[in-house]
Amino acid sequence: MLQKTSHFMKQANLIGGEWVEADSGQTIDVINPATGLKFGTVPKSGKAETARAITAAAKAFESWKKTSAAERARLMRKLHDLIIENQDALAELLTLEQGKPLAEAKGEIGMSAAYILWYAEEARRVYGDTVPSPWADRRILVTKEPVGVVAAITPWNFPSSMLARKIGPALASGCTAVVKPATQTPYSGLAWGVLCEEAGIPDGVINILTGSASEIGGELTRNPLVRKLTFTGSTEVGKILIKQSADTVKKVSMELGGNAPFIVFDDADMDRAVEGAIAAKFRNSGQTCVCTNRFFAQAGIYDRFVERLAAAAEKLKVGNGLEDGTQQGPLIDEGAVEKVEELITDAEAKGGKVVTGGKRSTLGLTYFEPTVITDAKPDMRFFKEEIFGPVAPVYKFGTEQEAVDLANSTEYGLACYFYTQDLGRTFRVMEGLKYGLIGVNEGMITTVEAPFGGLKESGLGKEGGHQGIEDYLDTKYVCIGGL
Ligand code: ADP
């Protein structure tokens, strides 16, 4: 391990500027999925520690909200620079706990830095309005203020950048936060505490807890001092958190599951489509909410697309993410592999054929071979369920309308992709797809400048873009009379 990596690997929680253990002294083991071995522990915090962290955040809010936007932007630029200076160490820590190839981990850390810089810039552009008044003797002002204490709960697939999207707008707007990273990947989350301290962000502005998800989540949603909850994770847990937040009417932002379609029309540029398909399916071993879950290929190019996709998938190098040249790391845990196996068995029983892969890699543990399945049908489980693994089912379709209807027949609406060279079709399909993120002839579209967020049961609110700060702000209307 790089010396700097251990510097960022904090095995404690950050509450009000202090690094502390759980009250009970209990810990949770953290496992490296590439080796199956424990490489550290984190505190098993619960309700009491969460309540203290919220109190610390509420206290820090009183002074942090009064800092100028320029001052917050200055500290955030420092935070950005620290991330870039330590990109290698932070990436190594991420790969150790999450398993993704080091090159992807470096990319994720770069993305984290980019979110912080973007929101450092946006901090100074939180404008209000003056509105033409219907009364001669009164004036109308609309002002924006930080909402207060923000709770953030994040998943294991992007343990650093999912927090950047939440910490960035929170800091920029003048909010304080209590953060709970995923239990499987806590260190990239706790590393934000070290970075914020070194950047000079005041104590209590960012608090970070690990431990029991239901206890911490329970207190974060119950406590009236928390005014906003931002969550990235499964739709199932998101719905629980929305319900729990109802009693105190918190603002909620939800980045939930997806069931991304990837449509290849007969007139597509095949080289480009295959390249995009590999990126949109196999990045992070298929463990992202924008990963393709269903490929739809038009009848005229179906066989050719399947063949090309399988040939490209076969070439992907599976291995430990820290080793040079690895393109597919292990899946996060045994449960993830079992789910993938169940989905493949179900598909095969219903007539699906494995063209390549379909089984665990000879490397053992949670390594799985990149898989392509042909003759996929809508009655197979993975038509509706998120695969979250390196399995690419390919469905055949005839007409444009059929493709759009199939793509939309899901309760999800996060990312989708389609490949065509026809301009009219581009607009018809783009307007027909009920998705928050659309890649046209592109398989990787996430960037800090654009609003990321799903429709339907994929979520509420946007992260990134100038829209991403709105949910961290309260709007006030002021009427000044007697002029
Ligand atoms: P994934 O399938 O990606 O693990 P989850 O929705 O299970 O998605 O987890 C996302 C985050 O939500 C993690 O930090 C996890 O610990 C947390 N979490 C899971 N269950 C709850 C809960 N009941 N209350 C609050 N947070 C939860």
Which residue range is the domain that position 434 belongs to?
260-440
Cβ neighbours for 454, distance < 8 A, ≥ 6 positions apart: 255, 256, 258, 412, 413, 414, 415, 435, 436, 437
Give the mean model confidence (pLDDT) for residues 360-369: 97
Q: Cα(83)–Cα(89) distance, rounded to whole angstroms?
A: 9
pLDDT in tens, 456-483: 999 999 999 999 999 999 999 999 999 9
Question: Is 90 exceeded by the pLDDT of residue 3?
Answer: no
Residue 371 belongs to some domain of the structure: yes
Q: What is the pLDDT of residue 2?
A: 82
Active site amino acids: 255
pLDDT in tens, 72-86: 999 999 999 999 999
Does residue 403 sit in the same domain as residue 423? yes
Question: Is 90 exceeded by the pLDDT of residue 395?
Answer: yes
Write the CA distances from 212 to 55, 72, 219, 463, 464, integer angstroms.
Answer: 19, 32, 11, 26, 29
Residue 156 belongs to some domain of the structure: yes
Residue nearest to atom 2 of ligand 1 (CA): 234
pLDDT in tens, 164-181: 999 999 999 999 999 999
What's the CATH code of the domain at 283? 3.40.309.10
Does residue 233 sit in the same domain as residue 376? no
The mean of the pLDDT values for the chain is 98
Interval between CA 153 and ligand 1 midpoint (Å)? 7
Residue 274 sits at the vertex; the CA angle it makes with 273 and 277, to the nearest 5 degrees, is 85
Residue nearest to atom 23 of ligand 1 (CA): 214
Question: Is 90 exceeded by the pLDDT of residue 397?
Answer: yes
Radius of gyration of the chain (CA): 23
214 lines ligand 1 (CB under 6 A): yes
Does residue 4 sit in the same domain as residue 130? yes
Does residue 378 sit in the same domain as residue 472? no
pLDDT in tens, 186-244: 999 999 999 999 999 999 999 999 999 999 999 999 999 999 999 999 999 999 999 99
Instruction: Report yes or no: 232 and 88 within 8 Å, Cβ to Cβ.
Output: no
CA-nearest of 181, 180, 162, 382 to 255 is 162
Does residue 49 sit in the same domain as residue 135? yes
Residue 375 neighbours by CB distance under 10 Å: 18
Mutation to probe ligand 1, out of 237, 340, 386, 412 (largest number of atoms < 8 A from CB): 237
Residue 449 belongs to some domain of the structure: no
Q: Cα(189)–Cα(181) distance, rounded to whole angstroms?
A: 6
Instruction: Calculate what percentage of the chain has a pLDDT beyond 90.
Output: 99
Give the mean model confidence (pLDDT) for residues 42-65: 98
**Lowest mean per-residue pLDDT among 1-5, 97-101, 255-259:** 1-5
Domain count, the chain: 2
CA-nearest of 33, 52, 5, 65 to 209 is 52
Q: What is the pLDDT of residue 1?
A: 78
Interval between CA 235 and ligand 1 midpoint (Å)? 10
Q: What was the ipTM of the complex prediction?
A: 0.95
Interval between CA 162 and ligand 1 midpoint (Å)? 13
Does residue 179 sit in the same domain as residue 313? no
Instruction: Write out the two tokens for 338.
Output: 């079992």
